[in-house]
Every structure is written in structure tokens, then in C-alpha cells.
Amino acid sequence: MDGHSWQRRYFTHGLVGLLSVGLGLSFHPSQAAGRPVDPIQQVENTWRDRYEKYLKLRFEGQTQASPQVATTLWKRGLVAQQQPAVLYLQPKPEGLTLYLVLPNGVPIQRQVPEANPAALETEVRQLMLAIRDPRQRSQDSYLPAAQTLHRWLIAPIEAELEAAGIRDLIVCPGEGLRTLPYSVLHDGQQFLIERYSVTRMPAFSLTNTRYDGVRQGRILAMGASQFRDQTPLPAVPVELKTIVGQLWPGRVFLNRDFTIANLTQQRLRQPYEIVHLATHADFNKGVPQDSYIQFWDRRLTLDQLGQIPWRNPPLELLVLSACNTAVGDKDAELGFAGMAAQAGVKTVLASLWYVSDEGTLALMTEFYRDLKATPVKAEALRRAQLALLRGEVQLTDGQLVRAGRRGGIPLPPELANAGGRSLAHPYYWAAFTLIGSPW
């Protein structure tokens, strides 16, 4: 069955399912005689299976079909006042399949034969290497790959996104695409982030999509500037004190107080809505035990992440401000993309590669300012990324300066002599991504 005939056949069932879900009724197209199998639920089942095997977890509840996904999108769009959509990207030997679910309940399918797994791997690797290479930060060598990937991943459904007025794009990607910096995809005129906020989900059914909001929340901010066997992060004390001291209420714990035991104790004592960890985190090849977050006293491995009391009450946002992910490895991809599901956290903000200390400070400062002004976490990240891209935040005379705002944030001595620097290159802002719920 081709994409268009499937779309026509499924249209009626999609609307029936949407109404059924809205009335609280059960609707399972794959179990109904004579009805087409819902491809969204098929993809959800496949990816849920892979995350369960890698993370060694059993997730509760059923996977969702496209009418249920569409209903959730419609409800969240009303609250956030921005229309969201979910884009499933499923690489297959014969090419890439795109499934787009819009708030109106009508799923759309597209095929991109030239985007086979080998071609996708080549373009993704070229993009990542070009952005991360410190020798190329004054160049746009990433553009050819960014434009090719935009043509394959976004252009086939761009007209539908425009027609539906979509502004929040949720990407549920398959193998080889789980650690792609989607914000840097380029249509020849502008980056994707200039048109949409972007969030990635491991699968819609593995994500807590309830909306509560964080603008009145408190932050537990912890981190380290010195490490025994890793590079120092000299801007971390400034980062933590700026976030909590100037922007949000909360508490700060630095270096020797940055322990797993203290995190657990503080989380049990006070229901912080946001936990900010300014430290090294690596998502490596192999089993979950090989990926970790570095604390002052020891490493917290990915398989231990769920042991922290994130769930009672549920943590709205976990921020990891100095992550690195192995390029092109399927296990590292599963670990990074499945982080929120593994921890039981609603949303994780993390970086795909180590960004410079000053770049991280700039992005995080802007993000927390914007998080006070918008009900959507993904939109706050988008605004912060645009501030760097458009040169509204710069390093000048040993300070981090925001255009139109008096004064600046003094940099630590290790960074103050770096001179003036633009943060517009994607290396500084494209690494940061939201995993889990955009809300």
C-alpha cells in the first residue's frame, strides 16, 4: 500500500479513533477486523522494545496509536498556545519513511528512497564532524550536510507543517538519527530552529506529556569545576550562582558537596521541580554501565539513574550542561535518547557534545531567563539558541554581554582573557537538545 492510499484509508479510522479517545473509549486499530494496522503504533511498539532491551526496563501502559497521539497534541496545543506535531523518522533498507501526526488526527506518510541507512549515516557523520571540529568554527562547512538532511527529513512534510500552523516539532527518530542536532538542519535560507522549537522523544508512549509548568518552581543546582581525571569546567561556579542567585530561587552545591548522597538527600527533603547538574557526562558505546554522569565522589552510570528519587514528586526538568555522545554508535544513541525514560524524568536538557565553558554559560543563562517567560520548555530553548545564533549574546572584555541589557556576567580568570568572541556558530548552540516532553 502506498503512502497516499494508506492515508485515504486511515483518514476515517483516524477521526473515529480521535472521537473515541476524546470520549474516553478504547480504540485499537490493529485489533479491529478489516481495519488497517496503525503504523504509528507499530513504530511505537518496535522502539519501545529496543529501549526496553537496552535499558533493561519494562515500561508500563500500552503504546499509543495515532488518534491518541493526535488528541494529546491538540490538548497540549490549547494550553501552550502553540501548535505541536510529531514526526516519526523510520530508516529502512529501502529508504526513509516519515510519519507526521498533526493535532487534527490525520496522519501523513512520506517515503524518501535516497535516504537509505548508509546515506543517512554518511550525512549525519559529516554534519557532526564539521560542527564539532574546533578548526572550522569560523566556517560553514556543515551546510552541505545540514541542507541534505533537511531535504530528506523536513522538506517532504514542510507544506503540511505550514498549513497546520505548527510551531513545536517533536521528533521520534529511529536508529542513526537519535543524536542528530535537528536545530541545525538548513533549508538554504535559515536553520530549522528559526521556524520551530524542536524536541526529541524516544517514543510518544514512553514520555510523560502531562502539562504542569515550571515557571514557579525551584532549582537544585549542583556541579563541579575540578575533576581528578577530566578537564576542569572553570565557568561552573559562575553558571550555578547566576542561575540560582540571579534568575531562579533554589540552592547551590559545588565540588565536594556535589555527591550522589547529597543529591538524593536534597531531593527527598525539598520537591525541587528542576535539577541542574553542571558536570561531565558521557554516553559511550556498549552497555548502559559504560555511560555515566560524573559526581565529585564517583560516577553515576546510566543503569543507576533510576535509583535517584526523581519520581516523588515527578521531576519536571533535569539539566545536564556538559555532555558528550559517541558519534554514530547505536548504543550511545539509545542511552542518550532514552535518558528521560530511564530516569523517570519528564524532560531532560542535555548537550550532544562538549560545548566550551563560555558557550554553555551563555546558553544556560539565556535558557533560564526565557523559561520564566514561556510555558513551553522547548520554546525557551529555541529563544536561547536564537540569541546566540543572532549575535545577541557575546563575549566582550571578559564578560558575557546580552544586547539591550545593562552590565554583563564576569567570566572567571581562566576565561576572561579569551577576548571578544561570537557565539553564532552552531558548535555553541546546536548541541543542546530537549529529550522527553516539550511542555
Q: E strand or H helix at 52, and its extent?
A: helix 39-55
Q: 395 is written with which cell numbers?
A: 563575549
**DSSP 3-state of 81:** coil
- 223 pLDDT more than 80: yes
The share of the chain scoring above pLDDT 70, in percent, equals 91
Average pLDDT, the chain: 90
Residue labelled with grid coordinates 550511545? 332
The alpha helices in 86-142, defined as continuous H runs, are 117-132
> Residue 344: exposed, middle, or buried by beta-carbon count in 10 A (0-12, 13-18, 19+)?
middle
What does the pLDDT read at residue 137?
A: 86
Domains of the chain in sequence order: 3-206 (no CATH), 219-436 (3.40.50.360)
pTM of the model: 0.90
Which of the given ranges, 8-22, 85-99, 124-138, 390-404, has the highest pLDDT on average?
Answer: 85-99
> Residue 94: exposed, middle, or buried by beta-carbon count in 10 A (0-12, 13-18, 19+)?
exposed
Q: What is the pLDDT of residues 324-378, one digit of tens each?
A: 998 889 999 999 999 999 999 999 999 999 998 989 999 999 999 999 999 899 9
Phi, psi of 215 (to 5 degrees): -65, -20
What does the pLDDT read at residue 36?
A: 67
Strands 219-223 and 166-173 come out as unpaired
- 25 pLDDT more than 50: no
The share of the chain scoring above pLDDT 90, in percent, equals 76
- Helix, strand, coil percentages (3-state) for the chain, rounded to 5, are 40, 20, 35
Q: Which residues contact 107 (CB under 8 A, 6 or more apart)?
A: 7, 10, 14, 39, 40, 66, 70, 99, 100, 101
Phi, psi of 373 (to 5 degrees): -105, -10
Report the first-to-last Cα separation within the chain, whole angstroms: 35
In b/e form, how buried is each residue of 221-259, taking b as 16+ CB within 10 angstroms?
A: bbbbbeeeeeeebbbbbbbbebbbeebbebbbbbeeebb
- 277 pLDDT more than 80: yes
- 29 pLDDT more than 80: no
Q: 126 and 145 in contact (C-beta within 8 Å)?
A: yes
- 28 pLDDT more than 50: no
Q: 280 is written with which cell numbers?
A: 561531565
What value does the mean pLDDT take over residues 315-320? 97
Q: Which of 208, 207, 196, 250 is nearest to 83 (CA)?
A: 196
pLDDT band at 393 (very low <50, low <70, confident <90, very high): very high
What does the pLDDT read at residue 328?
A: 85
Q: 224 and 236 in contact (C-beta within 8 Å)?
A: yes
- CA 183, 188, 194, 197 torsion-angle sign: negative
Cα 70–chain centre separation: 20
pLDDT band at 119 (very low <50, low <70, confident <90, very high): very high
Q: 434 is written with which cell numbers?
A: 530537549
Q: 340 and 347 in contact (C-beta within 8 Å)?
A: yes
353: left (phi over 0), alpha (psi -120 to 50) or beta: beta
- 2 pLDDT more than 50: no
- 12 pLDDT more than 50: no
**DSSP 3-state of 365:** helix
24: left (phi over 0), alpha (psi -120 to 50) or beta: left
Q: What is the pLDDT of residues 158-204, one digit of tens each?
A: 999 999 999 999 999 999 999 999 999 999 999 999 999 999 999 99
**Lowest-pLDDT choice from 29-43, 96-110, 410-424:** 29-43
What does the pLDDT read at residue 286?
A: 93
- 84 pLDDT more than 70: yes
Phi, psi of 355 (to 5 degrees): -90, 155
Q: What is the pLDDT of residues 99-118, one digit of tens each?
A: 999 998 778 999 999 999 99
What value does the mean pLDDT take over residues 421-432? 94
Q: Which residues contact 84 (CB under 8 A, 6 or more apart)?
A: 73, 76, 77, 103, 166, 167, 168, 169, 170, 438
